[in-house]
Amino acid sequence: MSFEPITPSSVGRAGKIALLVLPFLAGFLCMLLSFVPFSRIFGVEIAPAFGLIAVYYWAVQRPDVFPPYGVFAIGLFYDLLSAGPLGLWALVYLIIFGLVLSQRQLMIGRTFSLFWLGFLVSSVIAGFLGWVLASLYFGQVLSPAPVLVQMAATVALFPLFAKLFEQLLQRLLVQG
C-alpha cells in the first residue's frame, strides 16, 4: 500500500494564489480609482488617496501578503500617472507602510474605531510628508488646502473600503 502525499485541492491552491495577488491588485485598483474625476460627478473638487487606504489596510491586516515592493510599485504607478514628482508617493507609501507595521500590534484585535483612528493618524502623516516633499521639489511652500481636503475625504471613505477589503479577505480565507 502506498500513500500519496496530502496536497491542497486546486480550489485551495487557487485561494492561496488569490490571497497573494489580492492586496496588490486591490491597491492598484484603488490607485487607479484616484484618477476618477469625482469633481465632474459630484461637483466637488475631491481626489481621495485610495491607494493609501489599501496600503494601510493590508499593512495592518495581512502584511505577509503585501510586501514593500508591492507598496512601492503602487506608489510609483501613482506618481507616473499623476505626472507629479517621480517617487514622491512611492516614498510616502513606504514610510506609512513601515510606520504602520511598527505599530500594528496596537490595532490587531481592537475595535474598528481604533483601526480608523490609526488610519486618521497615518493619513495626517502621509499628507504632511507629501506636502513637504512636494514643496521641496517645487522650491516653494505649496498651499496645504488641497492636501487637507484630500486626506479628509480619504479618511471619510476609509470605512467603506475597509469593509470591502474585509469581505474579500474573508471569502479568500474560507476558500483557502
Q: Where are the beta strands (DSSP E) in 43-138?
A: none
128: left (phi over 0), alpha (psi -120 to 50) or beta: alpha
- What is the pLDDT, as a whole number, of residue 138? 95
Prediction pTM value: 0.86
- What is the pLDDT, as a whole number, of residue 107? 87
Cell numbers standing for residue 153: 475625504
**pLDDT > 90 fraction of the chain, expressed in percent and rounded:** 64
CA distance 49 to 155: 9
In three-state secondary structure terms, 100 is helix
Residue 28 has pLDDT above 60, yes or no: yes
Residue 7 has pLDDT above 60, yes or no: no
Q: What value does the CA radius of gyration of the chain take, rounded to a whole number of Å?
A: 18
Task: Cell 514628482: give the residue.
Answer: 85
* Per-residue pLDDT tens digits for 137-174: 999 999 999 999 999 999 999 999 999 999 988 887 76
Residue 82 has pLDDT above 70, yes or no: yes
* Per-residue pLDDT tens digits for 33-45: 988 887 776 666 7
Residue 59 has pLDDT above 60, yes or no: yes
CA distance 114 to 77: 30
